[in-house]
Structure 1
Amino acid sequence: MAEAHQAVAFQFTITPEGIDLHLSYQALNQIYLSGLRSWKKRISRIKNRIIKGVYPASPSSWLFVVIAILATMYMQSDPSMGLITKIREHLPLSLSLSAQGQTVLSVLLFSTLLWLSLILALRFCLKLLLSYHRWMFELHGRISTKTKVWATLVRLLSSRKPLLYSYQTSLPHLPVPSIKDTLERYLESVKPLLDVAGFQRMTRLAAEFEKSLGNRLQKYLKLKALWATNYVSDWWEEYVYLRSRSPIMVNSNYYGMDFLYVTPTATQAARAGNTITALFLYRRKVNREELNPVCDKTLFLGFIPLCAAQCERMFNTTRMPGEETDVLQHWQDSEFVAVYHRGRYFRLWVYRAGRLLSPREIQYQIQRILDDPSPPSPGEDKLGALTAGNRTPWAQVRKQFFSSGVNKRSLDCIEKAAFFVTLDDQEEGMMGENPSVNLDRYAKSLLHGKCYDRWFDKSLSVVVYKNGKNGLNAEHSWADAPIVAHLWEFTLATDAFHLGYTADGNCRGEIEHSLPPPQRLSWDIPLQVQTHVSESLAVAQALADDVDCHVFPFREFGKGRIKKMKMSPDSFVQLALQLAYYRDRGTFCLTYEASMTRLFREGRTETVRSSSNESCAFVLALEAGEDREHCRKLFRKASEKHQNLYRLAMTGSGIDRHLFCLYVVSKYLGVESPFLKEVLSEPWRLSTSQTPVQQMELFDLVNHPEFISLGGGFGPVADDGYGVSYIIMGEEMINFHVSCKHSCTETDSHKFGSQISQAMMDLMTLLNPDFKEATKANPDKRS
């Protein structure tokens, strides 16, 4: 441990002969190496700041400009049109340079100013180019000349290999849509969900809002958009996430799963060793900015950059509870992780003398924790329940009992850790005689566990099970699912294909047996705190027990067959969900599909209102048994509508974030809007999200089809609704995660899962009548 080595580096005793000084050279060497690593990181950060600061130019281009100007001056030509001479005239007399020296210095100053001006001009041009989004609305194979020219210019200006944050200052700001456009799109989205009288009433409220309060609120919002980097993101983070006083467990946090069919090793400590190593390797890539900001290969040939701001708080971050609002606290670096096992908390250092421990060494340290027989101290075992309950009681307890002494030191170890690790004593995964039920239990375990064996405030909580299966639980306020999915894809691939295991299931690498053991954290938990822990646990347990989860892989077909029908796979799944919900409840509902807005600086998400006039018309026609060809036309029309809605959301023309921000402005002004109040209180009974696969190149599904990820999921948003997450894996599988609440008698995750499967089959049969016969001829595909 670093503190221990620093404490014994210098020892001295006072004797009659004087001071007898003892130096621990081993400790001094470790302090030196650790400091050397710290300075290397600082130099690397400075270097990266310079490189991304001049992007899309390069630092070496400065030398080119200087040489070019000097060459023209040598040829008796003045490209500055007299500016170099003026600079020379205004040089301080105290420099005492020769005439030639003054000329060279003047050229250097002029060249630097010219270089900086060119950088600003290039960046401005790139920003203008990235503000063009019509390319997204063009038909496949029918690209206009304008878009082709635009694509060529973007490629030219971003031809250099960028760092992770190189594009940040070149990304456009999120535009504020006009009030009229937003209200028109809103009314169109609710028309199929309301009766005639209800729609007329909402139309009247919207018209009144536009004429009176709307334009006033819009002016304030446009003023914010001029001043702020993103007019949505800070309010979204604060009011949707950090100000919520209800438990973040289930309600906010989400989870990610391991491979479906494969567990690389059955040794818990070994799986933890490789997983922890892979996560720190990813953190190193983030710190060095080695990740590609153009990470979404599906976006127009893969050269459109996405905002990377959410990556900054991926590690070393904790959500601190407050009485009125929480705060996200991020530390620059952390060389350890916090580990929970059977009611005890440990600090595990993963760096020694400036180097990352090998996977085998981390396995060795983890095994020490697993073999530690010491019992938890009084009140320690269920302490994590404080992070699972309501936020205000946790803030009060933290302030009163964890602000000083041993409790503060131990809590600091957890909160400042790179991430949290739980060594779970259960076995999970698709196993046993009833794998479907076990997958459901696996999902619930990652979503909430025992309600006290996760630290839900940490940005990332990694869970490693007794049988070697793993997964993670992510806090939502700092980033959205695609950011965590990118991290988890890298972690799984690095673990299985790059780090690997020995024949007996252990991690590779050498062990330095002199490693100090993991540090057991100490606590002083009085009875009053234990009472608060029990109260938080009761709240969390009731919430966890009410969650009904169902996870199932849909194997009948995947995106390969859907694309052969010239369909968007996402639109196909969304229409299947609309059909499934109608069959399940006999009606339509407000449907939420998450779409990203990372084409803009600090962009997060926007809502795609998937339930449209076109989708409802198709579902009603299909259920009424209308002509097949007519249903196909309606299906195509509904699919095109959905794709258009998705594109509008991605390009800043969505509905819900604009209305949300108008509502926030109204609250600041202290004015009430019946229209906004009603819109913001409408329940999302079907909340959906696709987990994108962003790095398929990491997985060889042709030669190793068994390495398929299950994706991840989240809890239900509405008490009487469903939460549905899905991941389109490879060409032949789509994995679904369905959640709802047991307390609602009208919802059932397994029943809805069956409705989704049947709806998927029915839609494919509609588009391709031969599919039904092919399925009958190959019944093994369904098993």
Structure 2
Amino acid sequence: MAEAHQAVAFQFTITPEGIDLQLSHQALRQVYLSGVRSWKKRLSRLKNNFITGVYPASPSSWLFVVIAILATMYTRSDPSMGLIAKIQEHLPVSQSLSPQCQTVVSAVLFSTLLWLSLIFTMRLCLKQLLSYHRWMFEQHGKLSNTTKIWVALVRIFSGRKPLLYSYQGSLPNLPVPAIKDTVKRYLESVLPLMSASEFERMKSLARDFESGLGNRLQWYLKLKALWAANYVSDWWEEYIYLRSRGPIMVNSNYYGMDFLYVTPTPIQAARAGNTLHALLLYRRKLNREEIKPSRVPGTIIPLCAAQCERIFNTTRIPGEETDTVQHWQNSDYLAIYHRGRYFRLWMYNAGRLLSPREIEYQIQRILDDPSPPSAGEEKLGALTAGDRVPWAQARKQFFNSGINKRSLDCIEKAAFFVTLDDDEQGMMGNDPDGSLDRYAKSLLHGKCYDRWFDKSFSVVIYKNGKTGLNAEHSWADAPVVAHLWEYVLATDSFQLGYNEEGHCKGDINPNLPKPQRLSWDIPQECQEQISESLEVAKALADDVDFHVFPFRDFGKWQIKKFRLSPDAFIQMALQLAYYRDKGMFCLTYEASMTRLFREGRTETVRSCTSESCAFVKALESGEDRDHCRRLFRQACDKHQHLYRLAMTGAGIDRHLFCLYVVSKYLGVESPFLKEVLSEPWRLSTSQTPFQNVELFDLVNHPEYISCGGGFGPVADDGYGVAYIILGENMINFHVSCKHSCAQTDSHKFGAQIRRALLDLLALFCPDQNEPTIAGNPQTKKDL
């Protein structure tokens, strides 16, 4: 109970001589320092809000405007055209000030109004400029004069030294596409997937919808677009994620992996020390808005940063009808799970963040704690892995008061969740392929009870020093989490580092209070519900078939030599691989971002097109090589065009989804929308972006390369494929499906992907045995 005594600031007893007051100066000092830190954060937040609010101007520009106005008045000219005199007449303190003071105050007020007007005008101009997207459809390296002028104007109106959220007020709203355009592109996307009779029937449904109910639904959607910052995002979060009543483990959550070839230290506590410290350094930069705004790669065009607000101190709260995402402003501790016990670890002492060595010391205390879990505690996390309704009911019934509520609040309000795993994971020398598959499954679902799947993200530290994370999907998309994880990996290895023994650097404060063990009183009825949720979760986890493999034969460098988009190249390879695997084509989902717009999230790129199908059929039937190349380039160009349409708000699926939601609110049925929204995505794909390129030196240190991340299968009879393009010569793939479907096999499909990539390379390099090595500064040997 030592930690309990340290939490008491004072004690008193009543004696015959009076009240005996005993103060704990150390505790009071901690209270004082905590308060100082809290107020510093509030002032910093206010300062950043002000700077962001006046961007693209700067606070100092106000002084410049005031001085300029006063200077012109000194020359006996009136730049306000009489407005300063009008303000002077209506000053409430005009009688108590001298005429000269009245003039100065009036001039300052006019200057402030002028300054605010200029800010509003600049932001409006920048918003209009950022609404221009023709540049994205122009050929690389051949910009039109209009686009060149636009780039110059964007630079002028973008201001200097933006904070993370500086561009939020200048981002345009997501436009609502025209019904006829969406219907036309939809029919075009399903043409290669339907028979002639099926397509004619769908065409008839689409025509009736476009001329009838669609216009009525569109009117409501346009009304929402005028009122809301983004007409899609809130409904997408609620109906796709929060209203889902099935398990979020595997079905929704996704994971990110550690370095592929390197483990910076084999000491579990030490790796935790650096990793957790780096995560909180990122949070500090996030709170101070010191993270540079994300931009479209290779451009000055900013992306929406709204999703960054909920990275930390965020939890998904279960409900019987719908879940909610709860975010707290701050949290000074972490929730940690180890061998069935839950702990609270305070990350600040005397108002400062614990050093990596101090965190390692605290983590080691948890690892050395011999206490057993209390009844029902060990597998409590299974409630977050099973169906949502039983978890919501159990939370309401058993965690609504007493010590259970206090302990649950501790987990939910923590900055994030940490699992100290007793297993060893990563690429093992004796079985590199199988070990990566097991590593992926461990991060995706673990033992189904040793992760807290409701937290915004959970960090997993394995016994051998490997790390990874599992992220909840409703609050943000993978690029936001990937940016965080890349920073953590780079900071851990290249900035914080370890000593010769593998421990964190720095000194230890031995007086740190011990991590606090959370207490539970879980009745038998609740334990039975935990067991039922665990049974559901284990059945789901055991059904997942995963295959992770690094493709090192060639990469981005070689693809760009062909003047092709690496993403389009990989998507065509996936189409070829699926056709060879199934003997048919399927509706294909590729995630694209819409963060060019305020509060933008994702849109769907339908990668299976008439052009891609024509190429695959031509290649498989052995047609002329030049003809296949021409068809391949046409397919890649079409894919790039669809990707750009999706990024610029002219996608198909989010628009149809929102029209469907409106129809449900109005209580009307649309056979067209019902059929569209029920179509299965048997091939669901996503590219994980590599963003913090400047933090890594892949030329001199190619071994420090992440394996990316992945997700579970979307359809019971389909595949989920995540891939990350790393450096110039490597692409990592994460393939998932279900054992219960006899027609899918992740390893077989992975082999088909590898074969398809090599065949596409051979299509363009028929006479070159090792095209990836010749003339390339980074060879396979380096990896």
User: What TM-score bracket applies, with the shorter chain setting the length?
Assistant: over 0.9
Q: Tell me, yes or no, if structure 1 residue 328 matches structure 2 residue 325.
A: yes
Aligned pair in 2 of structure 1 residues 563, 780: CA closer, same or farther (>3 Å)? closer
CA distance in 2: counterparts of 1:565 and 1:311, whole angstroms:
36
Task: Say which is worse superposed, 762-771 or 637-646, in terms of deviation.
Answer: 762-771
Partner of 1:732: 729
Find 2:557's aligned residue among 557, 560, 567.
560
Partner of 1:535: 532
Partner of 1:392: 389
CA distance in 1: counterparts of 2:500 and 2:636, whole angstroms:
49
Q: Tell me, yes or no, if structure 1 residue 69 matches structure 2 residue 64.
A: no
The one-letter code of the counterpart of 1:647 is R
Partner of 2:442: 445
The one-letter code of the counterpart of 1:396 is Q
CA distance in 2: counterparts of 1:780 and 1:672, whole angstroms:
57
Equivalent residue of 2:60, what SS? helix
Indicate conservation of the 8 Å contact 1:547/1:742, yes or no.
Answer: yes
Indicate conservation of the 8 Å contact 1:428/1:465, yes or no.
Answer: yes
What are the equivalent positions in structure 2 for 1:322-401 lying under 5 Å apart? Answer: 322-401=319-398
Aligned-pair CA distance for 1:93: 4.8
Extract unaligned runs of 5+ from structure 2: none
Aligned-pair CA distance for 1:13: 2.4
The one-letter code of the counterpart of 2:141 is G
Indicate conservation of the 8 Å contact 1:550/1:737, yes or no.
Answer: yes
Indicate conservation of the 8 Å contact 1:556/1:781, yes or no.
Answer: no
Q: Tell me, yes or no, if structure 1 residue 121 matches structure 2 residue 121.
A: yes
Aligned-pair CA distance for 1:10: 1.8
Aligned pair in 2 of structure 1 residues 270, 6: CA closer, same or farther (>3 Å)? closer
| Deviation string, structure 1 residues 619-656 (Cα, Å, up to 9, x no partner) | 00000000000000000000000000000000000000
| Deviation string, structure 1 residues 489-535 (Cα, Å, up to 9, x no partner) | 00100001101001000011111000111000000011100100000
Aligned-pair CA distance for 1:780: 7.7
CA distance in 2: counterparts of 1:3 and 1:32, whole angstroms:
18
Task: Say which is worse superposed, 247-256 or 283-292, in terms of deviation.
Answer: 283-292
Aligned pair in 2 of structure 1 residues 499, 5: CA closer, same or farther (>3 Å)? farther
Indicate conservation of the 8 Å contact 1:237/1:477, yes or no.
Answer: yes
CA distance in 2: counterparts of 1:224 and 1:775, whole angstroms:
51
Q: Tell me, yes or no, if structure 1 residue 653 matches structure 2 residue 663.
A: no
What are the equivalent positions in structure 2 for 1:22-61 lying under 5 Å apart? Answer: 22-61=22-61
CA distance in 1: counterparts of 2:462 and 2:768, whole angstroms:
40
CA distance in 1: counterparts of 2:518 and 2:164, whole angstroms:
36
Aligned pair in 2 of structure 1 residues 764, 76: CA closer, same or farther (>3 Å)? same
Aligned pair in 2 of structure 1 residues 14, 170: CA closer, same or farther (>3 Å)? same
Task: Say which is worse superposed, 460-469 or 6-15, in terms of deviation.
Answer: 6-15
CA distance in 2: counterparts of 1:417 and 1:132, whole angstroms:
42
Indicate conservation of the 8 Å contact 2:773/2:780, yes or no.
Answer: no
Partner of 1:226: 226
Q: Over the residues paired in the alignment, what is the CA RMSD in angstroms? A: 1.6
The one-letter code of the counterpart of 2:588 is T
Q: Tell me, yes or no, if structure 1 residue 269 matches structure 2 residue 266.
A: no
Aligned-pair CA distance for 1:12: 2.1
Find 1:457's aligned residue among 454, 464, 488.
454
Indicate conservation of the 8 Å contact 2:268/2:465, yes or no.
Answer: yes
Q: Tell me, yes or no, if structure 1 residue 600 matches structure 2 residue 601.
A: no
Aligned-pair CA distance for 1:29: 1.2
Indicate conservation of the 8 Å contact 1:270/1:360, yes or no.
Answer: yes
| Deviation string, structure 1 residues 7-52 (Cα, Å, up to 9, x no partner) | 5222222233332222211111111111111010011001001100
Indicate conservation of the 8 Å contact 1:317/1:458, yes or no.
Answer: yes
Aligned-pair CA distance for 1:194: 0.3
CA distance in 2: counterparts of 1:502 and 1:261, whole angstroms:
20
| Deviation string, structure 1 residues 297-316 (Cα, Å, up to 9, x no partner) | x2xx3311100000001000
Indicate conservation of the 8 Å contact 1:555/1:781, yes or no.
Answer: no
Indicate conservation of the 8 Å contact 2:688/2:722, yes or no.
Answer: yes
Indicate conservation of the 8 Å contact 1:295/1:694, yes or no.
Answer: no
Equivalent residue of 1:770, what SS? coil
Equivalent residue pairs, number: 780
Aligned-pair CA distance for 1:273: 0.7
Equivalent residue of 2:212, what SS? helix
| Deviation string, structure 1 residues 71-130 (Cα, Å, up to 9, x no partner) | 000100000000101111111256510000100011011111100000000000000000
Partner of 2:78: 78
Q: Tell me, yes or no, if structure 1 residue 522 matches structure 2 residue 516.
A: no
CA distance in 1: counterparts of 2:8 and 2:213, whole angstroms:
68
Alignment TM-score, normalising by the size of structure 2: 0.98
Aligned pair in 2 of structure 1 residues 78, 179: CA closer, same or farther (>3 Å)? same
Q: Tell me, yes or no, if structure 1 residue 165 matches structure 2 residue 156.
A: no
Aligned-pair CA distance for 1:749: 0.2
Alignment TM-score, normalising by the size of structure 1: 0.98
CA distance in 2: counterparts of 1:81 and 1:526, whole angstroms:
78
Indicate conservation of the 8 Å contact 1:316/1:334, yes or no.
Answer: yes
CA distance in 2: counterparts of 1:6 and 1:133, whole angstroms:
59
Partner of 1:747: 744
CA distance in 2: counterparts of 1:27 and 1:302, whole angstroms:
51
Aligned pair in 2 of structure 1 residues 151, 2: CA closer, same or farther (>3 Å)? farther
Partner of 1:281: 281
| Deviation string, structure 1 residues 305-349 (Cα, Å, up to 9, x no partner) | 100000001000000000000000000000000000010000011
Indicate conservation of the 8 Å contact 1:310/1:478, yes or no.
Answer: yes
Indicate conservation of the 8 Å contact 2:344/2:515, yes or no.
Answer: yes
Partner of 1:205: 205
Q: Tell me, yes or no, if structure 1 residue 569 matches structure 2 residue 556.
A: no
**Percent of pairs with identical residues:** 77
What are the equivalent positions in structure 2 for 1:465-484 lying under 5 Å apart? Answer: 465-484=462-481
Partner of 1:764: 761
Aligned pair in 2 of structure 1 residues 689, 84: CA closer, same or farther (>3 Å)? same
The one-letter code of the counterpart of 2:765 is N
Indicate conservation of the 8 Å contact 2:346/2:515, yes or no.
Answer: yes
Indicate conservation of the 8 Å contact 1:11/1:21, yes or no.
Answer: yes
Q: Tell me, yes or no, if structure 1 residue 668 matches structure 2 residue 696.
A: no
CA distance in 2: counterparts of 1:243 and 1:411, whole angstroms:
22
Equivalent residue of 1:103, what SS? helix
| Deviation string, structure 1 residues 167-192 (Cα, Å, up to 9, x no partner) | 10100000000000000000000000
The one-letter code of the counterpart of 1:190 is V
Aligned-pair CA distance for 1:6: 7.5
Q: Tell me, yes or no, if structure 1 residue 642 matches structure 2 residue 639.
A: yes
Extract unaligned runs of 5+ from structure 1: none
Equivalent residue of 2:768, what SS? helix
CA distance in 2: counterparts of 1:554 and 1:128, whole angstroms:
43
Equivalent residue of 1:450, what SS? coil
Aligned pair in 2 of structure 1 residues 598, 3: CA closer, same or farther (>3 Å)? farther
Indicate conservation of the 8 Å contact 1:310/1:479, yes or no.
Answer: yes
Partner of 1:260: 260
Partner of 1:96: 96
CA distance in 1: counterparts of 2:5 and 2:579, whole angstroms:
65
Aligned-pair CA distance for 1:781: 6.6
| Deviation string, structure 1 residues 644-693 (Cα, Å, up to 9, x no partner) | 00000000000000000000000000000000000000000000000000
Aligned-pair CA distance for 1:775: 7.7
| Deviation string, structure 1 residues 112-155 (Cα, Å, up to 9, x no partner) | 11000000000000000000011100001110011011001111
Aligned pair in 2 of structure 1 residues 198, 427: CA closer, same or farther (>3 Å)? same
Indicate conservation of the 8 Å contact 1:177/1:658, yes or no.
Answer: yes
The one-letter code of the counterpart of 2:695 is L
Task: Say which is worse superposed, 177-186 or 431-440, in terms of deviation.
Answer: 431-440
CA distance in 2: counterparts of 1:314 and 1:655, whole angstroms:
29
The one-letter code of the counterpart of 1:156 is I
CA distance in 2: counterparts of 1:416 and 1:306, whole angstroms:
29
The one-letter code of the counterpart of 1:238 is E
Indicate conservation of the 8 Å contact 2:94/2:102, yes or no.
Answer: no
Indicate conservation of the 8 Å contact 2:558/2:771, yes or no.
Answer: no
The one-letter code of the counterpart of 1:722 is Y
